[in-house]
């Protein structure tokens, strides 16, 4: 494994690149729409939920990085090796469902965002299909032909554009900063029929769901290992979730008190029109560029990262006879290999079949599957990182980390999951 020389100065991207990719991939159309819906229905009183959601995801991602650096195996590999090979089949079912629904959503969102910038089609539905297909194929080409370092740089540019533009738009629109400060520091859910549900959706939307697992493959590409690189990962992850929290806060502030008619990605377009009415048409165009950067960076990140997960599953499946901690040899996914590229092709092409279909039922099912991700990962980290014999004394969970994971597990299992099951139709449709 190639290591950096001791004391060598590395460029900023080498330090925070995986975190920027996490931020770019984790903020997509659902986060745009989620922030807009929450701001429209609940206002800035629920900004604390974004901060808490970012803290939850930080604990999860830090635990994932700590396991991988301690054992040189990904969390998926660790779960299969230590908790039983049957886990890989449950993971595959979830991965396939997630890939189809999210792939369709991202393709459609890119199409809608591009149509808002270049309204050359009379029918928005046609524009969504044409532009969305072009974006999917562009993402496929960039990942297929590009190196990890090349894609890292593209993602860094896109996430920078996304964050800067949305924050700048928020400055143009203005806000009641006293109310914003109270919303950030005082936990409160407004009296609204779906107040709890929207708050949970806002909290869970910070930083994605399955894409959290992809961070492990990015730090493997960067050859990170040892205590020094774990400290680097902690800074990296903290920066990523700070940026994602800023983005979510800005989206809620921008939509505070507005009455918007769209749904999903079209809701964001409607929000842009309202921003233009309140400020200037150039600000509307600026916001749409930021929204496009958000959805395309998310699509590009998912196209690049999720095939890692399938390739990891495939390696575990084809080497199932040696699935023991003593026999298993850690390896790096070959991004030119058949399993990675085969899933990349499927991810970019199969969801195209859903662009003209009403995905309400599938989106409802995904809301339940999405609610399961965080408590399941929290439970896995409690089990894996809680054993000193598996990770070593210096990498095992400290009491405060275990407490945080228990709180995450309890919060989603006791409050979040039942409420999402009750409000089964809360998912945002991307029309």
Residues 46-77: pLDDT tens digits?
Answer: 899 888 888 888 999 999 999 999 998 999 99
Classify residue 69: in a domain, yes or no: yes
Rounded mean pLDDT of 11-19? 67
- State the distance between the two ends of the chain, measured CA to CA, in whole angstroms: 46
Classify residue 421: in a domain, yes or no: no
> DSSP string covering 355-422, please?
TTS--HHHHHHHHHHHHHHHHHHHHHHHHHTT-HHHH-TTTSPPHHHHHHHHHHHHIIIIIIHHHHHH
Q: By the 8 A CB rule, do 203 and 59 touch?
A: no
| Cα(178)–Cα(253) distance, integer angstroms | 12
- Domain of 299, CATH number, reads 1.20.1740
Averaged confidence pLDDT in the chain = 81
Classify residue 19: in a domain, yes or no: yes
Phi-psi region for residue 392, left (φ > 0), alpha (ψ -120 to 50) or beta? left
| Number of structural domains in the chain | 1
Classify residue 388: in a domain, yes or no: no
| Cα(95)–Cα(209) distance, integer angstroms | 11
Res. 430: pLDDT tops 70:
no
Could you list the residue range(s) of the whole structural domain that residue 129 is in?
14-361
pTM for this structure? Answer: 0.86
Classify residue 61: in a domain, yes or no: yes
Q: How confident is the model at residue 11 (pLDDT cuts 50, 70, 90)?
A: low
Which one has a higher pLDDT value, 356 or 410?
410
Classify residue 379: in a domain, yes or no: no
Residues 126-175: pLDDT tens digits? 888 899 999 999 999 999 999 888 988 898 888 888 888 888 887 777 77
Classify residue 396: in a domain, yes or no: no
């Amino acid at each position: 494994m190639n290591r950096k020389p001791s004391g060598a100065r590395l460029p900023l991207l080498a330090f925070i690149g995986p975190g920027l990719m996490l931020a770019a991939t984790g903020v997509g159309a659902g986060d745009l729409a989620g922030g807009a819906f929450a701001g429209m229905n609940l206002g800035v009183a629920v900004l604390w939920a974004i901060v808490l959601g970012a803290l939850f995801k930080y604990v999860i991602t830090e635990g994932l990085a700590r396991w991988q650096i301690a054992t040189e195996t990904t969390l998926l590999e660790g779960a299969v090796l230590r908790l039983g090979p049957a886990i890989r089949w449950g993971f595959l079912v979830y991965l396939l469902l997630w890939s189809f629904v999210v792939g369709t959503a991202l393709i459609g969102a890119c199409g809608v965002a591009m149509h808002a910038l270049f309204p050359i089609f009379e029918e928005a539905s046609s524009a969504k299909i044409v532009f969305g297909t072009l974006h999917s194929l562009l993402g496929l080409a960039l990942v297929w032909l590009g190196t990890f370092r090349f894609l890292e740089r593209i993602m860094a540019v896109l996430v920078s554009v996304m964050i800067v533009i949305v924050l700048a738009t928020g400055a143009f629109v203005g806000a009641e900063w006293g109310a914003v400060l109270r919303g950030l520091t005082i936990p409160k859910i407004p009296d609204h029929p779906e107040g709890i549900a929207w708050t949970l959706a806002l909290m869970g939307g910070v930083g994605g769901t399955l894409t959290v697992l992809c961070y492990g493959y990015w730090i493997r590409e960067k050859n990170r290992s040892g205590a020094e690189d774990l400290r680097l990962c902690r800074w990296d992850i903290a920066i990523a979730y700070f940026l994602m929290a800023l983005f979510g806060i800005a989206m809620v502030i921008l939509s505070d008190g507005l009455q918007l008619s769209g749904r999903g990605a079209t809701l964001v377009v409607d929000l842009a029109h309202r921003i233009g009415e309140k400020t200037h048409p150039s600000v509307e165009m600026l916001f749409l560029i930021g929204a496009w950067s958000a959805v395309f960076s998310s699509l590009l990140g998912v196209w690049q990262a999720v095939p890692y997960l399938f390739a990891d599953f495939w390696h575990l499946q084809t080497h199932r006879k040696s699935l023991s901690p003593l026999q298993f040899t850690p390896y790096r996914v070959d991004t030119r290999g058949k399993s990675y590229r085969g899933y990349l092709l499927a991810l970019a092409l199969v969801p195209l079949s859903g662009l003209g279909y009403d995905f309400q039922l599938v989106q409802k099912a995904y809301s339940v599957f999405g609610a399961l991700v965080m408590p399941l990962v929290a439970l896995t980290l409690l089990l894996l990182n809680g054993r000193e014999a598996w990770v070593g004394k210096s990498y095992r969970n400290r009491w405060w980390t275990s407490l945080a994971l228990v709180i995450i597990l309890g919060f989603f299992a006791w409050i979040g999951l039942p409420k999402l099951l009750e409000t089964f139709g809360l998912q945002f449709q991307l029309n």
